[in-house]
């Protein structure tokens, strides 16, 4: 008996299945790019609302760098997701896509993204503005924040 290259549970993907897979791929990739660009300290444009201008160079006043980071991650992830959508029917037998895996990965990346930015914002606004001594990403302040957050 000759072995089939695609398991019987994997059929030809319908259009809606490809859209679902491509959207999940876009979500996973954009969150990964968003976190990774923040971790390596990529200097992205920030919006200065009081000056009403975008700038890569630091200016006086409060800045909103999250908008530049989100725009960068979406613009970078969108072409790869569109390419993934169109290549998917031809490479399906090699990928063996399970939608439950995509759903679980998407959920994990959403939680990771939310958790990462809560910690980052707490570190910059809750620790540095109060003038507490920070001991890195998983310092004492972080665990106190989690304790108080879980109790509330």
Does the pLDDT value for residue 102 go beyond 80? no
Angstrom distance (rounded) from CA 44 to CA 53: 14
Confidence class of residue 131 from pLDDT cuts 50, 70 and 90?
A: low
Does the pLDDT value for residue 36 go beyond 60? yes
Averaged pLDDT, 92-117: 80
Tens of pLDDT, residue by residue over 39-87, are 888 888 888 888 888 888 888 877 777 778 888 889 999 999 999 999 8
* Percentage of residues of the chain with pLDDT beyond 70: 74
pLDDT at 58: 81
Angstrom distance (rounded) from CA 127 to CA 134: 7
The three-point CA angle 74-76-77 to 5° equals: 65
pLDDT at 121: 73
Averaged pLDDT, 2-13: 53
Angstrom distance (rounded) from CA 50 to CA 62: 8
The three-point CA angle 43-48-50 to 5° equals: 165
pLDDT at 65: 78
Instruction: Identify the bridge partners of residue 78 per DSSP, sorted by sequence position.
Output: none
SS (HEC) of 59-114: CCCCCECHHHHHHHHHHHHHHHHHHHHHHHHHHHHHHCCCHHHHHHHHHHHHHHHH
Reported pTM? 0.68
CB-based contacts of 25, cutoff 8 Å, min separation 6: 80, 81, 84, 102
Angstrom distance (rounded) from CA 114 to CA 42: 19
Confidence class of residue 126 from pLDDT cuts 50, 70 and 90?
A: low
């Amino acid at each position: 008996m000759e072995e089939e290259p695609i398991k019987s549970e994997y059929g030809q993907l319908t259009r809606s299945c490809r859209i679902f897979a491509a959207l999940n791929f876009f979500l996973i990739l954009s969150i990964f790019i968003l976190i990774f660009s923040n971790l390596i300290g990529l200097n992205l444009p920030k919006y200065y609302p009081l000056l009403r201008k975008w700038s890569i160079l630091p200016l006086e006043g409060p800045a909103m760098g999250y908008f530049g980071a989100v725009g960068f991650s979406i613009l970078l992830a969108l072409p790869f997701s569109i390419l993934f959508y169109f290549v998917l029917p031809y490479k399906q037998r090699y990928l063996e896509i399970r939608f439950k895996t995509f759903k679980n990965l998407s959920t994990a990346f959403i939680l990771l993204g939310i958790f990462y930015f809560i910690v980052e914002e707490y570190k910059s606004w809750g620790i540095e503005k109060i003038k507490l001594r920070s001991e890195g990403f998983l310092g004492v302040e972080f665990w106190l924040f989690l304790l108080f957050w879980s109790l509330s």
